[in-house]
Amino acid sequence: MSFFKKYKKPIDILFWIVIVAIIAYKFGYQQMAPSIAFSELLLVNEAGQKFRIEDYSDKNLLINFYQSWCGPCIQEMPSLSNAYQKLKEDDFVFIAVSDEQFSLIDKVKSRTDNQMIFLQSKQSFDQIGVRAYPTSYLINKKGEVVFEKVGPEQWDSPEMETHFRELVQ
């Protein structure tokens, strides 16, 4: 009796366990927001001026990592812009970050009221660790990440507005 005939059933079971584990890891991994060293981000505006997160230490920052080709990213931009309009008087600043060219960033920016800050990351999102889009973080005035979200959100809902205000108190 050959090895494979004798152990066919256990090998089949092991094969499916490995496949399920790989799939679970892959999807679970992409649904977790990566830990980012925000102080080390290399961000610039369209004029080439460097942007440092520390310059906004007196504000609550919502940072949204997106790609112009990402449908859910584009769909949530008006919602982000509306949420910013509701929260800006409470020391919130919303920043949209892409690692793409500014010609693509400008196309996305045109879908908003231009109140949010649109920046380019000089590091690729792979280098930063962002692999799922959109990925968003809320950083309070103390520099603490108080909220992480992978995937789209209805940012301008009354529940989210209340939740954000509670998180930064």
Residue 124 lies in a domain: yes
DSSP codes joined into one string, 33-100: PPP--GGG--EE-TT--EE-GGGGTTSEEEEEE--TT-HHHHHHHHHHHHHHHHHGGGTEEEEEEESS
Residue 18 lies in a domain: no
Residue 24 lies in a domain: no
Residue 133 lies in a domain: yes
Residue 26 lies in a domain: no
C-alpha to C-alpha distance for 93 and 38, rounded to whole angstroms: 15
Residue 9 lies in a domain: no
**Domain harbouring 108, CATH code:** 3.40.30.10
113: nearest Cα among 152, 136, 86: 86
Task: Quote the number of domains for the chain.
Answer: 1
Residue 3 lies in a domain: no
Full-model pTM: 0.81
DSSP state, 88?
G
Residue 121 lies in a domain: yes
For residue range 30-69, what is the model confidence (pLDDT) as tens digits?
566 777 888 899 999 999 999 999 999 899 999 999 999 9
